[in-house]
Amino acid sequence: MKKITLALCLSFFMAGCNTTSSDPNTFTSQCSYSELQSDPPLTFTVTGVNEAVLDGVICSGSLDAFENMLEHFPSVNTFKIKTIPGSADDETNLTLSTVIHANGITTHILSGGMVASGGTDLFLAGVERTSSDNHPKIGVHSWASSDGRNGNTIPHDDEEHQNYLDYYQEININPDFYWYTLKAAPADNMHWMSVEEMKHFHVLTK
């Protein structure tokens, strides 16, 4: 699971915690309370012909929410991100992020916004990646398995790494970035990337 707790990102977290919406422009991930641990689910809010604002935690219903949004608004090609602090479902996150990249979508972090953990994986899916801030808040750390193992303790040739390596290859990110995230911080902590690190790994494309 690649997710940080609300306590770690409280000063950046702004979304509400509704799982349904009467707004026809809003598409909210339908996920269980236990899965989210009271955190807001990822919501796609279409704000223009070509753009949607993203906010919340990626969870099992996020791929369905994305596909539902795209069915109603097929011209959306830019995701403007408020806060995505992580993912409660890594498998869904990697699938969703791969599809985002395949659809040629651009990702942009809004001023004062934040991505971390699985949220960083989703941001990197953008074919173009930009930010309103010169030094956006982008967090990385090692993943943890359901049995409590940290990715940074598992040998590099272990198949546990392959899904992530395949994902980074699919979105044209150097796999060195994956190994860097494992060393940057353990699963229960977070490393906030420096400007130099972002430049080194080409996190932003402009």
Give the integer Cα–Cα distance in Å for 79 and 200: 24
pLDDT tens sequence across 121-140: 999 999 999 999 999 999 99
Q: What is the pTM of this model?
A: 0.89
Q: What is the mean pLDDT of residues 11-38?
A: 69
What's the pLDDT at 144? 87
Helical spans, DSSP H, in 127-175: 162-170
Closest CA to 56 of 8, 6, 107: 6
Tokens read off for 165: 């390596």
pLDDT tens sequence across 138-155: 999 999 887 878 899 999
Give the integer Cα–Cα distance in Å for 176 and 182: 10
CA 72 to chain CA centroid, nearest Å: 22
pLDDT tens sequence across 50-104: 999 999 999 999 999 999 999 999 999 999 999 999 999 999 999 999 999 999 9
